[in-house]
Amino acid sequence: MIKRLFLFFIFCTTTFVQAQYTTVINSNRPGLSESPYSVGSGVYQLESSLFYRKVPITATFSNPQSIGLNLFFRTSFINEKLELNLNTSLSNDKIAFKNIFESSYNKTGLSEFTIGAKYLVYAPKYDDKTKEIRSWKARHSFDYKRWIPHVGVYAGLSFGNFLNDYHEKGGMSPRVGVLLQNEFSDKLNVVTNLFYNNIGTEFSEYSYVVTGTYNFNDYWSGFAEMQGVFEKYENKSSIGGGAAYLFNKNLQINASVRANFERKEIGITSTIGVSYRLDRHFDTFAEIDEFGNKIEEDKPIKYDENRGFFGRLFSKIKRLFKKDKKREQKVDLDISPNKDNSTIRTEKPRRQREKSLIDIISKEDKKDKKKASKAEKKAAKKAAKKVEKEKRRQEKEKEKEIKRKEKERLKLEKEKIKEAERKAKERLKLEKEIKELEEEIKKEEEKEKKKEEDDN
């Protein structure tokens, strides 16, 4: 039965088609797998879900109940095929102990914190059947190239040193994976993930996820999923399904229910979530000529740039010998009858004395020096402010470190006191038991003496 279910989920489950950038949001939720495609450059996407998990209590320590919030942040800005993401979960866990007697307590904190990146390595090209107009059969036949998957690689770091005590797994450790996606049709697709987590620790694990959805229309889709986790101390698996609704192009609402199989016990996990993206994507294009070469705009050449004192002096001298077009001859042509023809006269403009070139250049140099001194003063002020700010930051960090160490010291002292009290209680208990045993031994000896006296 399990093998049939496994084959059913492999060949019949699907997931969303996720391109590098799409006009509509593409979320990995509510499933657990990841598509090999990124969200696209300039997109900031947050996928959140509230979850509730309940499993029967098993022998020794177990986590039978959890309720919390999962946040998955995704973005891409370095390369269109490269995505950076952050996956974290805040949960309230019930930690139970079951042996001769049963006890439990609740603990709240982070249960997961992983930073990672994925890159699309290979994307196959499929035949466009819509262009086939000669044969209906060829247009509707299955393209066997669709069995070739899209391939992506994943690498990340799992931080376990500040998680809950139950979820802590050897501090910081690498996580790698292979992401595969098959697009069997426009509506039917399948995603397979293979992960190796907590590498180099005692809690290393292998896992696989097969996830999918069937797109019923432009708004509704249903999904199904199968997951398996193989650890050194225990193996886990789950089967689930759910639905997603596209509210608008940047918002998706989803829900899911899954069955968990842990230590021969069957539990249930339910989630409800929202995925939202902030779209700041811009398509870049380049202008090309008829040969396909990129057209680049020529920058204007400034020949007077970066000239020194003598360079500017010689350029001023050259301008003296050039003809000034603004100086024009003014001619007075007054031919009124009251005036004789002799009154017609030509007047040349008066020549104005040129200012000293050295004075002009020295003034310009003074202005440049003032500007440079102002810029230096501003830069010095900024540097001083930056140094002061860094100094304050370091002082704050030192204070925080001192407070943290003081808290740790107090915590250790409290733990020592508690341990001493516990040992004292145990010692008193043992002393009491010893006294009781001694009294019992005395009573038995007295009884034996009485029997001997009676016998005599």
- State how far Cα 37 lies from the chain centre: 14
How far is Cα of residue 371 from the mean position of the Cα atoms in its chain? Answer: 44
DSSP 97-163: EESSSEEEEEEEEEEEEEEEEEEEEE------GGG--S-HHHHHS--GGGGSPEEEEEEEEEE-TTS
HSE-up of residue 193 (Cα within 13 Å, Cβ side): 29
Torsion of CA 165, 169, 175, 181, to 10 degrees: -60
Examine the fold and report which residue of 216, 245, 279 is the final residue of a domain before the chain moves on: 279
- The DSSP bridge partners found for residue 264 are none
What is the number of structural domains in the chain?
A: 2
Phi/psi of residue 291, each to 5°? -95, 5
pTM across the whole model: 0.57
Tokens of 452: 């001997």
| pLDDT number for residue 17 | 36
- Does residue 315 fall inside a structural domain? no
- Hey, how many other C-beta atoms are within 10 angstroms of the C-beta on 31? 29
Domain membership of residue 444 as a residue range: 412-456
Does residue 418 fall inside a structural domain? yes
Residue 456 lies in a domain: yes
Q: Mark residue 293 as left, alpha or beta (left: phi above 0; alpha: psi -120 to 50; beta: remaining).
A: beta
In single-letter form, the type of residue at position 362 comes to: S
Task: Flag residues of the chain having pLDDT under 70.
Answer: 1-20, 127-140, 283-314, 316, 318-359
CATH number for position 144: 2.40.160.40
With tokens 């969303």, the residue in question is 16
Rg (CA), the chain: 41
Q: Which two tokens stand for residue 9?
A: 């989920």
Does residue 445 fall inside a structural domain?
A: yes
The last residue of one of the domains, among 279, 302, 330, is: 279
366 falls within a domain: no
Name the one residue in this structure whose structure tokens are 């249960």: 111
What pLDDT does 3 receive? Answer: 42
Reference 40, options 81, 7, 72, 90; nearest CA is: 81
**422 class by beta-carbon count within 10 Å (0-12 exposed, 13-18 middle, 19+ buried):** exposed
- The pLDDT of residue 333 is 46
Span 378-422, pLDDT tens digits = 888 888 888 998 999 999 999 999 999 998 999 898 888 988 888
Cis before 149 (ω within 30): no
Interatomic CA distance for residues 29 and 254, integer angstroms: 7
In a domain, 227, yes or no: yes
Q: Residue 153 falls within a domain, yes or no?
A: yes
**How far does CA 309 lie from the centroid of its chain?**
55
Q: In this structure, are residues 12 and 237 in contact, taking their beta carbons and an 8 Å threshold?
A: no
**Which of 230, 250, 279 represents a domain boundary (last residue)?**
279
Residue 334 falls within a domain, yes or no?
Answer: no
- What is the DSSP pairing of strand 189-197 with strand 251-262? unpaired
